[in-house]
A and B are shown apart, each in its own frame.
Chain A
């Protein structure tokens, strides 16, 4: 072996060692600052982790884009997924007067809110875009209670790292980190474009998470749980989606 090859070998070895060492340090830092998504395992784990970590470092507190009233879509698309279960039909027949939102987990006062309770909390309106992972989008005015107001009302523990939320169908559940949970634009939405939130768009209650794709804005929300350990929920991947191939973090 010539001298050049040996030198090359040593340089490559050093570079590889530095690379592996750097990765280990990056991994420890990422874990310490909560930059690892729940679906970080498997072949797609590295890509998901990079996307989530980089976007949290760059844009943790940046609000989603807002639009002037003139840009509200005249014909928004509901992508209707109206629940057909008996429980929903019963509540709908009663004009959703008995709709309940249970908030529990790492909170001082687990509470069950009616829609009237939620409406008595501070109200906020945001004109944001719903962007579906399929590619289509629309802009609407969303009216509701900021999630952070509800979390303050129940006395959320500072140990909380994720808010898990459930739809009435018993199948769909999602979770978001505290960056999105505390973003003032994240609304427990009961109104749309100056009216009640239509059933097709998630009425009577939808959690709007405008910094992520549409599938994180779960319709017909009935329960929320504050937790510091997302692995305890479902398959431990942070939502029902990663099992079907859909990333937990959808800020893309």
Chain B
């Protein structure tokens, strides 16, 4: 399983490695322009680097975020909320503070010390990765070309129709259409756009809306959300939207070949490209 991994780690040539072969060779054959285009990376370097930085940041944010939640597993609406006010909902777990009435007799260990440090450090990693990706994506037309639904799919009608076709194909587990694995379909585009331009920005916004210093300078950032506690509750709920996206993303990647796609996201090259015929490429994920 690790063969192609080691291979691609050092394979700086334009020619990829066949699947399952543990040795990488780079024959000094001149590559024509057409061949180079056909073998252009599946993902640009900026996409690959920022993708994995986001993965690291997301895992760190998720773990530290859950650690922080344990200190007060109660959620409220509005500006204020504490153990003396009625919660909107609670998570049925013991807390890491004995002042929180959870109904359990155990008190969990404190995760907030390292949890908070890690959370904000990872948040900065995410923001920096997002800035690089965002500026690059606008500059190169990556969003317009690869993520905006294609021309016929930009009206509601066209969009839903195209979504229906893709979902039907998914449910039948049918092979991909003529576009093959080189282009995202409309469902992928919509999902990625939603996560990149709606859910992640909302996460950062609701996070900042909990900062007493930031909201002092920009009070509307918390007033528009309906208060500090509403911001905290939204921050928690949006976490699960992102977790759901990651689960769906990994499932889809696994259906078309997990290691092949992971490799594509690390080296930019896709194993199917070389091992299968040009027409028979798998669905990209």
A76 to B82, CA, bound (A): 8
B198: shortest Cβ distance to chain A, in Å?
Answer: 23
Q: Are A134 and B71 in contact, CB atoms less than 8 angstroms apart? A: yes
Q: Are B120 and A47 in contact, CB atoms less than 8 angstroms apart? A: yes
Residues 108-129 of chain B: 1 if any A CB is under 8 Å from the residue's CB, otherwise 0? 0000111111101111100000
Q: Are B213 and A131 in contact, CB atoms less than 8 angstroms apart? A: no
Q: B119's closest neighbor in chain A, by CB? A: A47
B79 CB–A CB distance under 8 Å: yes
Q: Are B212 and A64 in contact, CB atoms less than 8 angstroms apart? A: yes
Residues 166-190 of chain A: 1 if any B CB is under 8 Å from the residue's CB, otherwise 0? 0000000000000000000000000
Determine the chain A residues whose CB is within 8 A of the CB of B242 once the complex forms.
none
Residues 59-80 of chain A: 1 if any B CB is under 8 Å from the residue's CB, otherwise 0? 1001111010001010111010
B267 CB–A CB distance under 8 Å: no
A91: shortest Cβ distance to chain B, in Å?
Answer: 25
Q: How big is chain B's contact interface, by range?
A: 35 or more
Q: A58's closest neighbor in chain B, by CB? A: B217
Residues 132-164 of chain A: 1 if any B CB is under 8 Å from the residue's CB, otherwise 0? 111111110000000000000000000000000
A202: shortest Cβ distance to chain B, in Å?
Answer: 16
- Complex interface residues of chain B between 138 and 182 (CB less than 8 A to chain A): none
A55 CB–B CB distance under 8 Å: yes
A46 to B113, CA, bound (A): 16
Could you say which of B72, B123, B216 contacts A211, with CB atoms under 8 Å apart? B216
A79: shortest Cβ distance to chain B, in Å?
Answer: 6
Q: Are A135 and B232 in contact, CB atoms less than 8 angstroms apart? A: yes
Q: Are A59 and B214 in contact, CB atoms less than 8 angstroms apart? A: yes
Q: Are A211 and B99 in contact, CB atoms less than 8 angstroms apart? A: no
B275 CB–A CB distance under 8 Å: no
Q: B223's closest neighbor in chain A, by CB? A: A65
A245 CB–B CB distance under 8 Å: yes
Residues 76-119 of chain B: 1 if any A CB is under 8 Å from the residue's CB, otherwise 0? 00011111110000000000010100000000000011111110
A24 CB–B CB distance under 8 Å: no
Among B85, B114, B118, B123, the most chain A Cβ lie within 10 Å of the Cβ of: B85
B185 CB–A CB distance under 8 Å: no
Q: Are A251 and B117 in contact, CB atoms less than 8 angstroms apart? A: no
B229 CB–A CB distance under 8 Å: yes
Determine the chain A residues whose CB is within 8 A of the CB of B216 once the complex forms.
59, 62-65, 211
A87 CB–B CB distance under 8 Å: no
Residues 103-145 of chain A: 1 if any B CB is under 8 Å from the residue's CB, otherwise 0? 0000000000000000000000000010111111111000000
B68 CB–A CB distance under 8 Å: yes
A85 CB–B CB distance under 8 Å: no
Q: A243's closest neighbor in chain B, by CB? A: B113
Residues 12-51 of chain A: 1 if any B CB is under 8 Å from the residue's CB, otherwise 0? 0000000000000000000000000000000110111011
Determine the chain B residues whose CB is within 8 A of the CB of A194 once the complex forms.
none
Q: Are B124 and A46 in contact, CB atoms less than 8 angstroms apart? A: yes
Q: B115's closest neighbor in chain A, by CB? A: A245
- Complex interface residues of chain B between 202 and 243 (CB less than 8 A to chain A): 210-219, 222, 228-229, 232
Supposing A59-B217, A131-B212, A251-B211 touch, asked if A77 and B83 sit within 8 A by C-beta, the answer is: yes
A210 CB–B CB distance under 8 Å: yes
Determine the chain A residues whose CB is within 8 A of the CB of B222 once the complex forms.
65
Q: Are A135 and B121 in contact, CB atoms less than 8 angstroms apart? A: no
Q: B81's closest neighbor in chain A, by CB? A: A136
A59 to B232, CA, bound (A): 21
Determine the chain A residues whose CB is within 8 A of the CB of B69 once the complex forms.
135
Q: Are B124 and A245 in contact, CB atoms less than 8 angstroms apart? A: no
A213 CB–B CB distance under 8 Å: yes
Determine the chain B residues whose CB is within 8 A of the CB of A51 once the complex forms.
120, 124
B63 CB–A CB distance under 8 Å: no
A246 to B81, CA, bound (A): 22
Q: Are A137 and B71 in contact, CB atoms less than 8 angstroms apart? A: no
Determine the chain A residues whose CB is within 8 A of the CB of B212 once the complex forms.
64-65, 129, 131, 210-213, 251-252
Determine the chain A residues whose CB is within 8 A of the CB of B219 once the complex forms.
65
A129 to B215, CA, bound (A): 12
B33: shortest Cβ distance to chain A, in Å?
Answer: 12
Determine the chain B residues whose CB is within 8 A of the CB of A77 once the complex forms.
82-84, 99
A195 CB–B CB distance under 8 Å: no
Q: Are B113 and A244 in contact, CB atoms less than 8 angstroms apart? A: yes
A240: shortest Cβ distance to chain B, in Å?
Answer: 12
Top 4 A-B residue pairs of the complex, sorted by shortest distance between their CB atoms: A245-B113, A47-B121, A251-B213, A59-B217
Which residues of B line the A interface, CB within 8 A?
12, 68-69, 71-72, 74, 79-85, 97, 99, 112-118, 120-124, 210-219, 222, 228-229, 232
Which residues of A line the B interface, CB within 8 A?
5, 43-44, 46-48, 50-51, 55, 58-59, 62-65, 67, 71, 73, 75-77, 79, 129, 131-139, 210-213, 244-247, 251-252
Known: A65-B222, A137-B229, A252-B213. 11 other contacts (CB 8 A): A44-B121, A48-B117, A62-B213, A62-B217, A64-B216, A73-B82, A79-B99, A131-B210, A132-B82, A136-B82, A139-B79
